[in-house]
Each structure stands twice: as structure tokens, then as C-alpha cells.
Amino acid sequence: MSDAFPVNGMDAVVFAVGNAKQAAHYYSTAFGMRLVAYKGPETGSRDEVAYVLTSGSARFELRGSLRPGTDLARHVAEHSDGVIDLAIEVPDVEAAYTHALAQGAKGLVEPYTLEDDHGKVVLAAIATYGETRHTLVDRSNYSGPYLPGYVAAEPMVAPPDVKNNRVFQAVDHCVGNVELGKMDEWVEFYKRVMGFTNMAEFIGDDIATEYSALMSKVVADGTRKVKFPLNEPAIAKKRSQIDEYLDFYGGPGVQHIALATNDILTAVDHMRAAGVQFLDTPDSYYDDPELRARIGEVRAPIEELKKRKILVDRDEDGYLLQIFTKPVQDRPTVFFELIERHGSLGFGKGNFKALFEAIEREQERRGNL
Ligand SMILES: [Fe+2]
């Protein structure tokens, strides 16, 4: 099955936003990303602007509508800023698209080719949960800054003053929130359509606090380059964080993007200094002797992690350090995770309780628990 839909990795995370110029500035300053490509009225794009930023292999495209009445403007009005496309790089768009449709995926855009002086790109798109899509991209014969129609752009600000001039170097995983009872349907979708397999599973007590709960399963391609956890709300005493998301986003969509970093301490320091807000972790988390015993030796002194509220988790393969931002737009919907892996292929299962209690405190403050 995995041979029927080979993937090279994530191509881009595409956001629809209300003000792409300011969003590009935010990701440049706060996330240390570098503006590399642009399209807008100056380049002949009459309906929308788009800013393309990179950090290592991670690529974000920020799209904004130039006028009302476009599908992009409608999307932003309904969902506010959010992720519209998890674009995947594949070696053969035609074959991937044909396979996907044969396996029951809904086709949105049939394969087509774009060309300019830099070569050609083949693209197609299929639907996934909510209004989210997967564009399939073959850019193996293309040397331009992004896609035909975009021009190279200069960075908006000076590069971050950190090692390698970058705060993070890749997209680690992209998480979707779907409605109650729909998680398994989407897990099956990724298995059937893309030949993905289950990586890990969290159900019930694994990720329940006393009040709110969710269920989560992770699917990934055979090389583990593309990892898509899927969440659905679970019944508990109070409202799940997933319900809050579904309510404010107006349906299923991308909940968080995890960014892989080699130095989470520096990344957190840089982002916090630039105004990014992270979820709080109580000091008791770090002082818990059980946790200290379980995580053992990690590369940074626990006091340094405690100062920055960075979480630690260990499994049979190794450990990981992680931290979560608060939502990055007005609505309590999309947020980011920073993750530094040392062998562990997990997602921080041991931190789910502490994490969810932190999220509940935020939900409570918003009056949505
Ligand atoms: Fe995550």
C-alpha cells in the first residue's frame, strides 16, 4: 500500500489570513522565518496576495484576499485565520491523484502543470477534513523561489540572532481536529488513500483530565516524514478543548503545527522575547519526583526547562522536549508546538495531562470550559 502513494515530505503549510502582510511580519520576527517569495498586484495577481516564508525545510504560505467576494475572503470571514492546505510533495502527482480518487478521495483540482523560466511544477489537490485540502506537488523540475506566478522576495527583517540564523528547521507534524465520532473515519482515509499507518494511539485515560477529554490517533507515511495526528472530542464533565476549537473555527480543521528545533531553549527565548505567548506549566510539574525519575538525564538542566516551562517526555526510543504556544490569532483555534527530539518518535503522551490542565485554565479564562 505504501508504494501506491509515495511521498517526499511536506511541501508547504498554507494559511488563509486576514492581513497577509502583517502575518508575514509576525512569522518573520517572532518565528525567525525568512520571506522568500511573493505575489500580489505588482506581479499581476489581482485577487490575492501571498507571502512565502521558510525556515530550514519548513515552508509557510500566507494568503490574503485583496477584495471581498473571493473564496479566500469567505474562508477568512467564516474561520478567521487558519490552515487551508497541507501541501505534500510527491514524486508523481498524476499517479498519486489517480490512486487517491480510486480509493475514494474527493478530487478538488485535477493534475495540471505550471511553467515559467525556472522550469515546471505539477500540481493537483484532494479534499481532507473540513475545508482543508492536500495539494500534491511535484517540484523536481523547478528551480524558482516557490511556484510560477511568484517572484523572489527579500527578507522582511534581519535574520534571528541565533545559531544557523533559524529558530526551527522543519515541520514535525500537523494535527487535525474532527467532530465526535469522525476520528476513525479520517484515520481510515489516510490509510486507504495514502497508505499511511498508525503510529501511536491515545484513548480515554491517556489524555483525559477530570473535566475534559479527547481521543487522538496518529497516521504517518512509511518514512515518518509526514505525520498527521487526528483528534476528536471525548465525553467528560466539561467541554473538551476540541469542542471549543470546532465551535470557534466553524468545523474541523488544523489544530496545531509542530515545528522541529535543534535548540528549544534558544527557540523559546527568541519567540518569547518577540511576544509569543506559551502555555504555562506549574512548577509542581518539575518538582514531581515521579517525573524526575521517569525522564532521567536530558541535555539541559531541569531548572532551565522549568524557567521556560518546557515539557519533557521519555519512551523506549529516547526523549523529547516540547512546548505549546497559546492560539496565534483572535479565535482560540490554531496554535504551534516546538519539539526537540532525542530519539523519541512520540508526541508527548506523558505530558498530555499537564498540557490539558494548562489548556483548561485558558479555556476557563475565555469562558469556554
Ligand atoms: Fe503535537
User: Identity (one letter) of the amino acid at 319?
Assistant: Y
- Let me know whether 147 and 169 are in one domain: no
CA of 216 to the centre of ligand 1 (A): 11
Domain boundary among 101, 135, 159: 159
CA of 38 to the centre of ligand 1 (A): 29
- Let me know whether 103 and 24 are in one domain: yes
Q: For residues 105 and 189, what is the distance between their CA atoms, to the nearest angstrom? A: 8
Give the H/E segment covering residue 100.
helix 93-102
CA of 19 to the centre of ligand 1 (A): 26
Is residue 203 scored above 70 in pLDDT? no
Q: For residues 139 and 83, what is the distance between their CA atoms, to the nearest angstrom? A: 21
Mind listing the pLDDT tens digit for each residue in 159-192? 999 999 999 999 999 999 999 999 999 999 999 9
- Let me know whether 147 and 194 are in one domain: no
CA of 265 to the centre of ligand 1 (A): 18
**Interval 137-148 mean pLDDT:** 98
Query: What's the number of domains the chain is made of?
Result: 2
Predicted TM-score (pTM) of the model is 0.95
Domain boundary among 159, 181, 201: 159
- Let me know whether 153 and 188 are in one domain: no
Write the DSSP string, 335-361.
EEEEEEEEB--S--GGGHHHHHHHHHH
- Let me know whether 196 and 143 are in one domain: no
Task: Report residue 1's pLDDT band, with 50, 70 and 90 as the boundaries.
Answer: very low
Instruction: Kindly give the pairing relationship between strand 170-177 and strand 227-234.
Output: parallel
Mind listing the pLDDT tens digit for each residue in 81-115? 999 999 999 999 999 999 999 999 999 999 999 99
- Let me know whether 340 and 242 are in one domain: yes
Domain of 291, CATH number, reads 3.10.180.10
CA of 62 to the centre of ligand 1 (A): 21
CA of 200 to the centre of ligand 1 (A): 12
CA of 347 to the centre of ligand 1 (A): 6
Give the H/E segment covering residue 296.
none
Nearest 10 degrees: Cα torsion 81, 334, 184, 354: -170
CA of 173 to the centre of ligand 1 (A): 7
- Let me know whether 141 and 243 are in one domain: no
- Let me know whether 213 and 172 are in one domain: yes
Q: Give the pLDDT of residue 354.
A: 78
- Let me know whether 184 and 60 are in one domain: no
- Let me know whether 155 and 68 are in one domain: yes
**Which region among 8-22, 173-187, 281-295 has the lowest average model confidence (pLDDT)?**
281-295
Sheet holding 311-315, edge to edge: 197-202, 213-220, 227-234, 170-177, 253-260, 335-342, 318-324, 311-315
CA of 322 to the centre of ligand 1 (A): 9
CA of 96 to the centre of ligand 1 (A): 27
Write the DSSP string, 202-221.
E-GGGG--SS-EEEEEEEE-
Surrounding residues of ion ligand 1, Cβ less than 5 A? 258, 337
Q: For residues 339 and 263, what is the distance between their CA atoms, to the nearest angstrom? A: 9
- Let me know whether 248 and 295 are in one domain: yes
Domain boundary among 159, 191, 218: 159
Task: Report residue 209's pLDDT band, with 50, 70 and 90 as the boundaries.
Answer: low
- Let me know whether 66 and 199 are in one domain: no
SS3 24: helix
CA of 353 to the centre of ligand 1 (A): 14
Is residue 287 scored above 50 in pLDDT? yes
CA of 110 to the centre of ligand 1 (A): 31
CA of 334 to the centre of ligand 1 (A): 12
Domain that holds residue 235: 164-366
Q: Give the pLDDT of residue 26.
A: 98
